[in-house]
Chain A
């Protein structure tokens, strides 16, 4: 593995001091990057280099570095989380690039996700959508019924699970030409709609979540499907269809 030669790369990175200030692309060179390194490890090396040169390192969000926390969020060469399917930025490895490549690195771009510094954006709009209805209203009591009291069809449980694997990274919004959050919202709506526990409040949930989604400034869905392609967890467009059905039925039934 370590027999590979290190990579020399040109990086074009978005730098922006704060939400209020204007940003611009800056060019940096890095050399001798191991192909076994992850993309974020390459960014660490760039930052060490910048610190060495007395410059400010590039601010970027990252935490678990194993593809599950949803914190990392880079737009690399025009794709959310870069080339490769079914991965987050932290799971992207340098073996996907060639010696001499120029790599463009930008933050998520969406009105509802303002840049707060360099490659970091504010995704708290997602939290506000969740607070509007992304839950089952059950208090902690220790007196809920036995977990096996309601059998759930495996097929449905699996579908609910698939929808629930969304990591809330926002790649769907960043990839959408309309900056729509439909894939994110529909994943949560679907998870609960598919489970008996979620059905009691299904009507209010979908209406409230969609309302806040619209208020936060996310765009409309025009069924292009870029979100599904770029989603690191492969969340299916079927969820959007399911949410539309849920929404329609909630609207027709009314109070």
Chain B
């Protein structure tokens, strides 16, 4: 059995990272020029890592399946990025960001990693501003902040509802500069289909050129996986259509442990599913919960009338509305963490108070009317308007709200044809982010030497639940400020290795396996499309491995996923040819991996006999429906080792030790 060594440096938590950096091996600039690094994925983590490694002097080969690195799905992040700058003077600090993140993750993350994340967070903002990222500013010309869920300070930096876009374009610019210099060789429209291991070390990848269909060999001294999360195992999620687990899954099958697959974030504020033809879900930023109030009708008959289209939300009197988050969690109110808000919405809808007019009836209101009037009255005062009419106040208030969230409101209106300034938004939870991922140590190295995983692709910082605006922070922290140090410590041993040849038996074998699988798909002559299987998998995942899980359901899910997988391999139909562009072939490979991951995911959920963060086991809850952790038995990371079928996977446990934060029941009441 391989022992999991998290390699946490010695010393007090606040000094660990500094001490570590002072004692690692360095690679001198001349030697960096003879070292190659492959980075798979060009989102915030992969993009920032590629740019920084190239600036340092390494030869970077970056891969993305999209037609440009700028399209990675980090682009879609809306709300913001956290940093412990304490510009608002509201008591923020590195320690407080660290504490909030560990608590928000329901005490299932690794202290040392989270502290380092909090420590470098302030640098990220400085770096991005220097790159020309246009964050929101106040009238004094200084950076503005907003609040996100699960915290009581304002530490979130933002660029309207397009923060991810602006940060990613910052990375893309930094990458472009290195591409222009030839330090990054960019492989657009390429998909990694396997990792190549030579003498126990990650030494390259096999990739398919998605335009020509050619299978290519690429070698390097280290391979960095930055391919994002696996939320699309649910078919419907807020992930991009192409987001997939394949890069992470391939390294898992070659020896990298996969950690906490069951930790999934179901985001509370998404636009509800409209019907069977739906292909993906759209998020409405958590930042909206700064000003929006969430409610359902108090009376069941009102909810029924709304669902039947006989009543409008604006017709329901204030006293007949149940602001259930404010009722249940008075101290955090609408800004409770995502897992808590999602479960509370499900609870109300399951109890018959849902207001969805779609097929499922599942939706709650996110209402801006109070905020509009509050801002309107503020404007009336600022502009010194006397005797302003109700309409004037509303008009001024709508302007303020438009300035803050205009693009989100517009997006909502485009999709639903409802005007959210006039009627409350309808929202419902949807799969959004996966906290689980490839297991990494403090250096962000997987259990394969020389193979790293960064950003959402790894498991390390968010425990069982991620706080809002922390994904962007982690992606950029890993890529700009952590990996460039830790990878040097490893590559220092490779300065005399020279170029890794691609004509070795290891490359032959990996390429053959990739080719065989493609040939299989092309010759299978099945009868059902890839999406047919993906949708079936998604239904099982959502119904039995989704927001609420129980032993019976999980066992059924394991059997059903196995069944779907068997049918997939017998009956999947991939049209066209493997030469040239074939989007069905691309999807087939990704869904094949999801069908294996899905089963491991359910097994992990079954193993974890407790409720923590996004993982909610119905058997383990308090009388009032709050999650119940079992610290005595489950304060560990489950890291799965591949052994063939998902049912054969072996779990290894990395105990989580809390030396700086006391384990408590997470309460937002």
A interface with B by C-beta (< 8 Å) = 1-3, 17-18, 33-34, 36-38, 40-41, 44-45, 48, 50-52, 54-57, 59, 61-71, 86-87, 91, 93, 95, 116-117, 120, 122-124, 126-127, 130-132, 134-142, 144-148, 151-154, 157-158, 160-161, 164-165, 167-168, 191-192, 195, 197-198
Q: Are A66 and B76 in contact (CB under 8 A)?
A: yes
Residue-by-residue, is B280-299 near A (CB-CB < 8 Å gives 1, otherwise 0)? 10110000000000000000
Q: Are B132 and A198 in contact (CB under 8 A)?
A: yes
Known contacts A148-B143, A191-B132; A136/B120 CB under 8 A:
no
Q: Are B134 and A164 in contact (CB under 8 A)?
A: yes
| Chain A: minimal CB distance from B312 (Å) | 14
For the complex, what is the distance from the CA of A145 to the CA of B125, rounded to whole Å?
Answer: 10
Q: Of B137, B278, B280, B283, which contacts A154 at CB under 8 A?
A: B137
Q: Of B76, B141, B278, which contacts A69 at CB under 8 A?
A: B76
Q: Are B581 and A71 in contact (CB under 8 A)?
A: no
For the complex, what is the distance from the CA of A247 to the CA of B129, rounded to whole Å?
Answer: 25
Q: Are B68 and A136 in contact (CB under 8 A)?
A: no
| Chain B: minimal CB distance from A46 (Å) | 12
Q: Are A57 and B76 in contact (CB under 8 A)?
A: no
| Chain A: minimal CB distance from B191 (Å) | 13
Task: Give A136's nearest chain B residue, CB to CB.
Answer: B132
Q: Are B162 and A168 in contact (CB under 8 A)?
A: no
Q: Are A41 and B134 in contact (CB under 8 A)?
A: no
Q: Of A50, A57, A69, which contacts B71 at CB under 8 A?
A: A69
B165 / chain A contacts, CB cutoff of 8 Å = 68, 165, 167
B30 within 8 A of A: no
Task: Give A32's nearest chain B residue, CB to CB.
Answer: B277
Q: Of A18, A68, A138, which contacts B162 at CB under 8 A?
A: A68
Extra pairs beyond A2-B359, A140-B484, A141-B127 (16, CB < 8 Å): A37-B278, A52-B529, A59-B581, A61-B67, A65-B240, A65-B280, A68-B165, A71-B71, A122-B67, A130-B176, A140-B127, A144-B123, A147-B85, A148-B142, A164-B159, A165-B162
B359 / chain A contacts, CB cutoff of 8 Å = 2
Task: Give A50's nearest chain B residue, CB to CB.
Answer: B575
B254 within 8 A of A: no
B136 / chain A contacts, CB cutoff of 8 Å = 157, 161
Q: Are B137 and A134 in contact (CB under 8 A)?
A: no
B211 within 8 A of A: yes
For the complex, what is the distance from the CA of A71 to the CA of B64, rounded to whole Å?
Answer: 13
Q: Are B211 and A116 in contact (CB under 8 A)?
A: yes
B159 / chain A contacts, CB cutoff of 8 Å = 161, 164
Known contacts A63-B240, A136-B130, A154-B139; A2/B173 CB under 8 A:
no
For the complex, what is the distance from the CA of A146 to the CA of B529, rounded to whole Å?
Answer: 53
B23 within 8 A of A: no
Give me 9 A-to-B residue pairs in the complex whose CB atoms sit less than 8 angstroms apart, sorted by A's number: A34-B275, A36-B274, A63-B240, A68-B76, A69-B73, A127-B68, A135-B174, A147-B125, A160-B134
Q: Are A123 and B67 in contact (CB under 8 A)?
A: yes
A152 / chain B contacts, CB cutoff of 8 Å = 137, 141
Chain B, range 236-259, C-beta contacts under 8 Å to A: 238, 240-242
Q: Which of B138, B143, B410, B583 has the most CB of A within 10 A?
A: B583
For the complex, what is the distance from the CA of A28 to the CA of B344, rounded to whole Å?
Answer: 46
For the complex, what is the distance from the CA of A52 to the CA of B573, rounded to whole Å?
Answer: 9
For the complex, what is the distance from the CA of A87 to the CA of B407, rounded to whole Å?
Answer: 11
Known contacts A2-B358, A140-B481; A197/B130 CB under 8 A:
yes
B417 / chain A contacts, CB cutoff of 8 Å = 93, 95
B66 within 8 A of A: yes
In this complex, how many residues of chain B approach chain A with their Cβ under 8 Å: the count is: 85
B interface with A by C-beta (< 8 Å) = 48, 51-52, 55, 66-73, 75-76, 85, 87, 120, 123, 125-132, 134-143, 159-160, 162, 165-166, 169, 172-174, 176-177, 179-180, 186, 188, 211, 238, 240-242, 274-275, 277-280, 282-283, 309, 357-359, 410-411, 414-415, 417, 480-481, 484, 529, 531, 573, 575-576, 580-581, 583-584
Q: Of B126, B139, B240, B410, which contacts A146 at CB under 8 A?
A: B126
A153 / chain B contacts, CB cutoff of 8 Å = 141
Task: Give A133's nearest chain B residue, CB to CB.
Answer: B180
B274 / chain A contacts, CB cutoff of 8 Å = 1-2, 34, 36-37
B242 / chain A contacts, CB cutoff of 8 Å = 63
Task: Give B133's nearest chain A residue, CB to CB.
Answer: A164
Known contacts A36-B275, A123-B67, A127-B176; A195/B134 CB under 8 A:
yes
B131 / chain A contacts, CB cutoff of 8 Å = 135-136, 138, 197
Q: Are A147 and B143 in contact (CB under 8 A)?
A: yes
Q: Are B584 and A145 in contact (CB under 8 A)?
A: no
Q: Of B484, B575, B580, which contacts A17 at CB under 8 A?
A: B580
Q: Are A139 and B55 in contact (CB under 8 A)?
A: yes
Q: Are B414 and A195 in contact (CB under 8 A)?
A: no
For the complex, what is the distance from the CA of A10 to the CA of B110, rounded to whole Å?
Answer: 56
B484 / chain A contacts, CB cutoff of 8 Å = 140
A164 / chain B contacts, CB cutoff of 8 Å = 134, 159, 166, 169
| Chain B: minimal CB distance from A32 (Å) | 9
A144 / chain B contacts, CB cutoff of 8 Å = 123, 126-127, 129-130
B177 / chain A contacts, CB cutoff of 8 Å = 131, 135, 137
For the complex, what is the distance from the CA of A64 to the CA of B279, rounded to whole Å?
Answer: 11
| Chain B: minimal CB distance from A166 (Å) | 9
Task: Give A1's nearest chain B residue, CB to CB.
Answer: B357
B128 / chain A contacts, CB cutoff of 8 Å = 147
Q: Are A140 and B55 in contact (CB under 8 A)?
A: yes
Q: Are B73 and A124 in contact (CB under 8 A)?
A: no
A124 / chain B contacts, CB cutoff of 8 Å = 67-68, 188
Known contacts A69-B76, A154-B137; A63/B71 CB under 8 A:
yes
Known contacts A17-B580, A59-B583; A195/B277 CB under 8 A:
no
For the complex, what is the distance from the CA of A40 to the CA of B278, rounded to whole Å?
Answer: 10
For the complex, what is the distance from the CA of A95 to the CA of B137, rounded to whole Å?
Answer: 38
Q: Of A145, A148, A161, which contacts B130 at CB under 8 A?
A: A145
Task: Give B173's nearest chain A residue, CB to CB.
Answer: A135
Q: Are B126 and A51 in contact (CB under 8 A)?
A: no
A197 / chain B contacts, CB cutoff of 8 Å = 129-132
For the complex, what is the distance from the CA of A223 to the CA of B173, rounded to whole Å?
Answer: 28
Q: Are B277 and A191 in contact (CB under 8 A)?
A: no
Q: Are A131 and B180 in contact (CB under 8 A)?
A: yes
| Chain B: minimal CB distance from A230 (Å) | 16
| Chain A: minimal CB distance from B83 (Å) | 9
Task: Give B309's nearest chain A residue, CB to CB.
Answer: A3
